[in-house]
Amino acid sequence: MTKSKVTMSLIKDFDTNFGKVIYYFEQDGEQLSPDMTTFPQLAEWWLLYHTLENPYGGNDRRQSHLDRRGARGKDIFERALSGSETTSFGRRRTDIHIRVAEDRSTEKIAALRRTFTQLDTLEQETN
């Protein structure tokens, strides 16, 4: 059985230009996906990447790319991101739990807060 050779990490980051938390997939330090802000965007990109751009190389008996063991195929990715342990997941890469591998946003948000605190302190001193 041949497995997909793509190993990627989900990265959580903070976009300092727009002031929002973003997510993207990365492999070997190189960003593979566009910046995304919502789980439905992540789910759509993840599924398309593994089914269309990097398909499984072996014989596949499934006719559908959705894991139908859940209540609905659409909510499997949301349950995976929330860390739900109540759902059985398959062996496909698109069926497994996906978690943030590295949170780069924490330090950037903390630095932004420190900057605003310093500005607020300077403003209060001048008034």
pLDDT in tens, 65-86: 555 555 555 555 565 555 555 5
Which amino acid is present at 39?
Answer: F
Q: Assign residue 44 a region (left: φ > 0; alpha: ψ between -120 and 50; beta: otherwise).
A: alpha
pLDDT in tens, 2-54: 444 557 889 999 999 999 999 999 988 899 999 999 878 888 888 888 777 76
Please state, in angstroms and rounded to a whole number, the distance separating the CA atoms of residues 109 and 113.
6
